[in-house]
Structure 1
């Protein structure tokens, strides 16, 4: 029995061990793979959370930084504006110190510097009242003219792209003071003053409301005189400023009459071959032909039409061709006598070439002129027949109608041959220009295809 009990104890022990092993496996599975691993995971999660906490704080700070930067930038901008305003106020106060010419000149120099490139400074300085003292400085007695030159360039910079300031300068009485300064540009000092005055007139004349005021102030003869005085000198800018100021003034019709009272028209026609000023001269002449007195003044200049017609031949500039053709078109439309002079000057061949090689606008204007000349020629034929507005064939008698129109046929064939020759010549000239631009050898021979094109009856596409 004892042995049996002992064997039972041993068996019970052996039986208990499998149960304990299974209980451990069950506990392990139920706890997620071990008793200590969950504890380790919780600690690692806690550590990760601890590490991420400062990162989230830093991220929030970074997100907040742009707002801070924006506020700081705004504060900095406000501070700069306040400093600039204080500086402009100090400059304006210097100009008010009439008892000290040195302070006034210092303030004038600063106005010129500040208004040169800062549009806001121009507006603010004008609101602070710097224009009247600057205009008054033009009357200062200064043998060296330094004060006048400083004031002129300060006013010039204040008027840049600011129509309000342009109007205020004219209303302050600057025109007559400037005119007084340029009446005798003899020495180098007065020449420098004249350059500054002309630059101011150019800037002020850009405003439409100032054009009639400037024109009636008597400055046009002095602008013409300055243009001629500076011609051929080193004052390249002054010459162009004078010409551009005259162009601005010529836009106003009332200013054309004082322009015609000067010798500007003959002078400009004599300078029409200068490429630097030709387009500007043609622009002024385009405004002058708007009135009958202007057209008469142009036609009265010797060789005026050959000079203008020659522009169509020697220049490749579309602007020059378009303006020259406009002048000729207006004058041909308005005056029968001018048409005859144009024909005698050889305008037809130049217009035919322009219809082939010119810009679109120049081609249209050339066609208009040719049409005008053709209609005028038809009116001449009908007038010779005594039939008023009737065409030439209807003026024939009954016997003449029975005769063959050999004379008319000969005339038409001659005109067609002339047109054909002109077209061939124009095409050949164009080919030579293309060869020169392409740097091809001078002995370059056109292809047979090009020769066939030049010999084809292309006159059908011409306006007449």
Structure 2
């Protein structure tokens, strides 16, 4: 009996909310949006029923209606739509079909809505439709996401759901080219330098780097090597190091120019530290890149030593091929020994810097603990 009474009361509330959403004043519509959110949150059956009663179109219209109750009403509408979309595929389809994505250009300049976490979470939920057969138009969603991610005044709590939505899109081959050409790479590289958003941004960049279009965008952006080298120095963020090392592998493998840029920025030192202090996955990736740098150095030195060998061979008295071969082998051994010594020297410096940091921390800790004793016993 009690359950039946609750259902009857909920039915009355739903009918009243639907009526106020369609015909009420601005204040009544805002209250009705809040009521729809509470009803959807309270029961899965009501969540499925509410869109059938016609609540979605007026809620979507409220998002871009600057005169219909102010920011509070628009936030209430976004919250109601978010509750309707959570875990409900059919409701997400209803929301898209009601024109949500077509409203986004109107919301880009609305600081209240474009910086709203509720709207960002709603778009994250809607973006999961890419994993279904529903034809989600990424071209309508991407400009808003990139604009929010590029905005300096957008809080991290809003940017993180937008990064999640971008991840959903970039994980699908049919959308990744649109993501790569949308200007997202530049925004992602900037966000990779922010500790709050770095891991999510680097993860999306990893999705993009798996495709030719994404790699091209990253290679053309001069900020990419600097961002990756910076992320690899964060020893307290192992996931960031792993993502950054993977992206460095992609760039270093495909471009000599990128290797030169990274070398100038101190990537060898960073890679050596990762190979010592990073997670097992990051260590393997760092070791692989270091091997590439080492082999490139060997090739460069061999190329430079080639003409001298030819001159020496032509000037030799015996003129025999066997002697020239022996000399080339000797030079190769010298080059290898020199490179090995250089790498060991760099490794010692990296280890020494880590040890020195530990010593400084230990000394600082010991000094701070001994100060009271020194005060008591001069």
Shorter-chain TM band: 0.7 to 0.9
Matched position secondary structure for 1:111: helix
- In the TM superposition, 1:446-461 aligns within 5 A as none
In 2, distance between residues paired with 1:83 and 1:139? 37
In 2, distance between residues paired with 1:400 and 1:136? 83
Counterpart among 425, 440, 443 of residue 349 in structure 2: 425
Q: Hey, what does 1:255 align to over in structure 2?
A: 175
Structure 1 unpaired stretches of 5+: 1-78, 387-395, 443-464
Structure 1 residue 306 and structure 2 residue 226: aligned? yes
Structure 1 residue 107 and structure 2 residue 32: aligned? yes
Q: Hey, what does 2:255 align to over in structure 1?
A: 335
Counterpart among 230, 234, 246 of residue 326 in structure 1: 246
Q: Hey, what does 2:56 align to over in structure 1?
A: 131
State the 1:215 CA deviation: 1.0
In 1, distance between residues paired with 2:361 and 2:354? 11
Shift in CA distance, 96/127, structure 1 to aligned 2, threshold 3 Å: closer
Provide the TM-score with structure 1 as the length reference: 0.64
Structure 1 residue 356 and structure 2 residue 279: aligned? no
Whether the 8 Å contact between 1:212 and 1:254 is mirrored in structure 2 is no
Matched position secondary structure for 2:67: coil
Q: Hey, what does 2:67 align to over in structure 1?
A: 142
State the 1:91 CA deviation: 2.8
State the 1:221 CA deviation: 1.8
Matched position secondary structure for 2:136: helix
Q: Hey, what does 1:191 align to over in structure 2?
A: 112
Q: Hey, what does 1:453 align to over in structure 2?
A: none
Structure 1 residue 294 and structure 2 residue 220: aligned? no
State the 1:224 CA deviation: 1.9
Shift in CA distance, 180/344, structure 1 to aligned 2, threshold 3 Å: closer
State the 1:118 CA deviation: 5.0
Whether the 8 Å contact between 1:315 and 1:321 is mirrored in structure 2 is yes
- In the TM superposition, 1:40-439 aligns within 5 A as 79-97=1-19, 98-101=22-25, 104-116=29-41, 118-119=43-44, 121-126=46-51, 129-138=54-63, 142-145=67-70, 146-177=72-103, 179-185=104-110, 191-192=112-113, 195=116, 196-209=118-131, 213-217=136-140, 219-229=141-151, 231-232=152-153, 235-374=155-294, 397-403=321-327, 405-435=329-359
State the 1:382 CA deviation: 8.0
State the 1:424 CA deviation: 2.3
State the 1:110 CA deviation: 0.8
In 2, distance between residues paired with 1:360 and 1:284? 22
Matched position secondary structure for 1:273: coil
In 2, distance between residues paired with 1:297 and 1:306? 15
State the 1:410 CA deviation: 2.8
In 2, distance between residues paired with 1:242 and 1:300? 24
State the 1:128 CA deviation: 5.1
In 1, distance between residues paired with 2:86 and 2:217? 35
Larger radius of gyration: 1
Matched position secondary structure for 1:408: helix
In 1, distance between residues paired with 2:182 and 2:325? 57
In 2, distance between residues paired with 1:149 and 1:253? 33
RMSD: 3.5
Matched position secondary structure for 1:403: helix
Q: Hey, what does 2:374 align to over in structure 1?
A: none
Greater RCO between the two (CA within 8 Å, min separation 6)?
2
In 2, distance between residues paired with 1:141 and 1:272? 34
State the 1:318 CA deviation: 0.5
Bigger mean CA offset, 361-370 vs 127-136: 127-136
Shift in CA distance, 377/411, structure 1 to aligned 2, threshold 3 Å: closer
The number of aligned residues is 348
State the 1:320 CA deviation: 0.6
Matched position secondary structure for 2:210: coil
Higher helix proportion, which one?
Answer: 2
Bigger mean CA offset, 328-337 vs 282-291: 328-337
Matched position secondary structure for 2:341: helix
Structure 2 unpaired stretches of 5+: 307-319, 368-378
Whether the 8 Å contact between 2:294 and 2:339 is mirrored in structure 1 is no
State the 1:136 CA deviation: 4.8
Matched position secondary structure for 1:115: helix
State the 1:412 CA deviation: 2.2
Shift in CA distance, 117/88, structure 1 to aligned 2, threshold 3 Å: closer
